[in-house]
Amino acid sequence: MAASPSMIVRGKGGRKIGFLGLGTMGKGMASVLLDAFAMNRDDTKDALSVWNRTASKAETLKEKGASVATSPKEMAKSGCEIVYAMLADPTASKMVAEQFAEGLREHHHQQQEQHHHQKQKEGGSFNNNNNAVVYVEMSTIDAETSETIKRVIEKDQRAEYLAAPVSGGEKDAKEGALLILAAGRRAAYEKCLVDFRRMGKQSWLMGPECKNATDAKMALQIMMGGQAALLAECLAFCEHAGVDEKVWFDVLDKGVMMNPLLKSVGNRMFGGVENNRRWPRTLFQTYLQQKDLKLAIETAEKVNCEVPIASAVHQRYVRASKKGHAYEDFAGVRDAYDEKSTP
């Protein structure tokens, strides 16, 4: 049986950190933190508590020393200094944050009862704000959802919210090579820096408002999805025009237009085509890129910005998903230009 999150033994100088969501990205990020914690001296060793809706996904982390919370509510009562959340979509992010906030309220009431006699002896009212947890939302969500979660988390000043979406894929998450775009109070950001340096190769404080981080992430997703779709279009053009696609790709590779994203995605596109146009269910999946582009387009409408290219690219990912590639690597957008497709 896993130890209760509130009963984990850690060094006197250690912190207690929570992680909510162990999906494609979250599991790798939590594992990086756990590995880093294991390297600390026993007297300063940090402890990690994790939660996932499908509990079996926490087993490998449990075996490595993490405790497993039964719910976001239990996580909120466990005494974590910082809790990171990495969920699949805005709906999941809001649901988990609401459960966590409910746990904070219940924990606060329990503390008030425990300190009732203390208040009578010392006078005044009990205040636990100095021990407020920092709740860090690292999922890709829109600014409106992020602001909603901020209000839920910071209600009654029991916790502080930091928006911190990441750029990178599953491999980057496992290797601690993500790019982290944070927004919120500098003090909260600096409290998380030691973990950000473990999970990512660089982090930035984009500004004080949630949208400073979430909108910057949207722009990155437009760039990422757009480059991959444009490469798929070029390869389809070569296919239709009778140009050797691999030779053309080699030409691209030797010029200034090539970059690590195009090289990696391009090679995976070739691999999928050679595998009867099927791509592995790994890395960054098509439905996730489709979701992120949709969020970016919706955000653009709210700020009165035209994004015709992003809108056209989004439709290509929709087509790829309809052709059965939704849960495959987003290099499957190559099949959105299959010569057998109809306009």
pLDDT tens for 46-97 read 899 999 999 999 999 999 999 999 999 999 999 899 999 999 889 999 999 9
Quick one: what percent of the chain has pLDDT higher than 90? Answer: 77
CA distance 31 to 327: 23
For the cut 50, the answer to whether the pLDDT of residue 6 exceeds it is no
CA distance 341 to 243: 19
pTM of the model: 0.85
Bridge-based pairing of strands 16-20 and 200-207 is: unpaired
Mean pLDDT of 268-274: 95
pLDDT, residue 291, reads: 93
pLDDT, residue 94, reads: 97
For the cut 50, the answer to whether the pLDDT of residue 5 exceeds it is no
DSSP 243-295: --HHHHHHHHHTSTT--HHHHHHHHHHHHHHHTTS---S-SSBHHHHHHHHHH
Mean pLDDT of 271-294: 90
Mean pLDDT of 166-184: 94
Residue 300: what residue type?
Answer: A
pLDDT, residue 8, reads: 40
**Dihedral (Cα; 3, 7, 11, 14), 10-degree rounding:** 100
Mean pLDDT of 256-274: 95
CB atoms within 10 A of CB 177: 15
Q: How far is CA 36 from the centre of its chain?
A: 19
230-259 per-position pLDDT tens digit? 999 999 999 999 999 999 999 999 999 999
CA distance 272 to 254: 23
Mean pLDDT of 167-195: 95
| CA proximity to 58, closest of 20, 96, 89, 17 | 20
Over the chain, what is the mean pLDDT?
Answer: 89
- Phi/psi of residue 254, nearest 5 degrees: -90, -5
| CA proximity to 337, closest of 256, 231, 261, 254 | 231
Alpha carbon of 6 to those of 79, 106, 190, 293: distances in Å? 7, 15, 25, 40
For the cut 90, the answer to whether the pLDDT of residue 287 exceeds it is yes
pLDDT, residue 157, reads: 80
CA distance 87 to 232: 29
pLDDT, residue 282, reads: 73
Q: Which residue has the tokens 């939302």?
A: 137
